[in-house]
Amino acid sequence: MKLQLPGQKTRYWQVFWLCLLVAAALFLPHCIADAAAGGGYFHYAGDFNDQQINFYQYANSFVKQGGTFSWATDLGSGFVNSYSFYLLGSPFFWLSLLVPARFMPWMMVPLLCLKIALAGGGAYLWARRWVRDEEWSMVAGCLYAFSGFTVYNIFFNHFIDVVALFPYMLASLDDAVLSGKKGRFPFWVAVNLLNNYFFFAGQAVFLVIYFFCMLAGRAYKIGPRKFAALAGETVLGCALGCVLLLPAGLSLLQNPRTIDPFNGIGYLVYGKSQQYGAIFYSAFLMPDAPYFKDMFSEGILKHTSLTAYLPVVGTAGGLAFCRGRRSHPFTYILKVCIVCAFVPVLNSLFYALNSSYYARWYYMPVLVLCGATASLLARPNLARRELPRAWGLTLAVTLSAAAFGLVPYTDDDGVTTLGVTDEPARFWAILGVTVL
């Protein structure tokens, strides 16, 4: 396998500034509308308004005052235990301390733009090793920065921290194995663990999948000595990053919500059949807001981050790549992740085998999907051969979603209507924009 070694001049800052400006352009109309309505700053809904903004403002003030125990949180709890999941380990939060606490509501959008820009730049750095053309590597970075997963999880804000930092850890793993560069991988392991221990558990599982798929695809060639050195760097990174994990872990062990195992057939199949349809269409339709349901009314769908959508290209590039490069590591990774998505116990591996359903690990295969798409488009002959069929299949599956807006439904009062969606107008708008 021929790899493009990142020795030529980097275009990182071009990707960074491009993503920053696009993100600012996306937020600007909403900020103007909120200001005109008298709100003064960007509002979304639910958790973003009630938690994310307030947490940042409160934590900013609390840290500057040197507090340790907070009576304003829960019914009184340790600040580290409560906020290590949300923001305490995030470098973006510590950067925000440069701003007075009273200004934090106005800083949420600039921070989000910065996170999205860093996500695009990191994805580009990872992709340029695997994509033949620098410009297509830039496209991979932009696709990742504005994927459905990123846009969906603006609602949760601190999830975007994870999206922003993960590509750097993946790129540093490639550097360690393929270029023998030491020090970068443990640093980024520590940063990601400090940032969010909950997401790091899933990242550890994905890195194992990534590593063995790279070995299977012969992209990685590693002997006992190099493997031992890599294991040592992994342990070092985890040791450096466990500063918040230890106190938070001791607190979590006392929480019954963290121990919720599967039982019987629940290991193998989801309790609601519609869950499978939602997982399947999550790669083809752009996501709605986290607190809405459109096509499916049964299953665990709200607030689950269930989306693997890519703007402009959808899944067509990924499908074409997997068909044309069947023995490539990316193909192996994407296939393994698809299986994990559809099997409850495998999906829960990313959440310490907890039976509560979430799809909050999708950003990792989405990054690989972006790399696969860019790699395909950088190979004109392969794209000409494989892309038309994949594009046709993607279009057909996307259009098939129209059935959910046309199927007849009779309610308890005997009234028959077309469609099973909660908000038909919103559903048709989402479908129309996706097809466009």
Q: What is the pLDDT of residues 277-315, one digit of tens each?
A: 999 999 999 998 898 887 888 888 889 999 999 999 999
7 is a domain residue: no
7: confidence class by pLDDT, cuts 50, 70, 90: low
Does any domain span residue 270? yes
Closest CA to 329 of 192, 177, 183: 177
Q: Which long-range contacts (CB under 8 A, 24 or more apart) does 419-426 make?
A: 420/295, 420/297, 421/294, 421/295, 422/292, 422/293, 422/294, 422/297, 423/292, 423/294, 426/288, 426/292, 426/294
Whether 367 is in a domain gets the answer: yes
- As for how many domains the chain has, the answer is 1
pLDDT interval class at 4 (50, 70, 90): low
Confidence of residue 117 (pLDDT cuts 50, 70, 90): very high
pLDDT reported for residue 183:
93
Q: Does 79 map to a domain?
A: yes
Helix (H) or strand (E) holding 64: helix 53-64
The pLDDT value given to residue 253: 67
* CA 190 to mean position of chain CA atoms: 19
Q: Judge whether 274 lies within some domain.
A: yes
Structure tokens belonging to residue 95: 């950067």
Residue 261 lies in a domain: yes
pLDDT at 176: 96
Tokens of 281: 């269409």
What does pTM read for this prediction? 0.94
329-342 and 316-324 helices, crossing angle to 10°: 120
Q: What is the mean pLDDT of the chain?
A: 91
For residue 1, pLDDT beyond 60: no
User: Residue 410's beta-bridge partner residues?
Assistant: 416
What is the per-residue pLDDT for 120?
A: 98
Pairing of strands 77-78, 408-410: unpaired
What is the pLDDT averaged over residues 174-203? 95
Confidence of residue 118 (pLDDT cuts 50, 70, 90): very high
**Residue 72's pLDDT is what?**
73
8 A C-beta contact, residue 4 and residue 219: no
Q: Does some domain include residue 1?
A: no
Residue 223, sorted as left (phi over 0), alpha (psi -120 to 50) or beta, turns out to be: beta
The pLDDT of residue 367 is 98
User: Which of 103-117, 257-271, 397-411 tops mean pLDDT?
Assistant: 103-117
pLDDT band at 3 (very low <50, low <70, confident <90, very high): low
Q: Is the pLDDT of residue 259 over 70?
A: no
Per-residue pLDDT at 132: 84
- What is d(CA 215, CA 206) in angstroms, rounded to the nearest whole number? 14
C-beta neighbour count of 413 within 10 angstroms = 5
In sequence order, what are the residues at sequence separation of 6 or more whose Cβ sits closer than 8 angstroms to the Cβ of residue 430? 285, 286, 288, 294
Taking only the tens place, the pLDDT of each residue in 31-48 is 988 888 877 789 898 889
- Containing domain of residue 280, as a range? 12-435
Number of other residues whose CB lies within 10 A of the CB of residue 69? 12
pLDDT 10s digits, 319-362: 999 999 999 999 999 999 999 999 999 999 999 888 889 999 99
Mean pLDDT on 11-21: 97
Question: Per residue in 379-413, pLDDT tens?
Answer: 999 999 999 999 999 999 999 999 999 998 887 78
Quote the distance between the C-alpha of residue 214 and its chain's center: 21
Between CA 59 and CA 97 the distance in angstroms is 9
- Helices assigned H by DSSP within 328-379: 329-342, 344-347, 363-377
Mean pLDDT calculated for residue range 159-187: 96
Residue 4 domain-assigned (yes or no): no
pLDDT at residue 356 in the model: 86
> Confidence band (pLDDT; 50, 70, 90) for 246?
confident
Give the confidence band of 317 by pLDDT, cuts at 50, 70, 90: very high
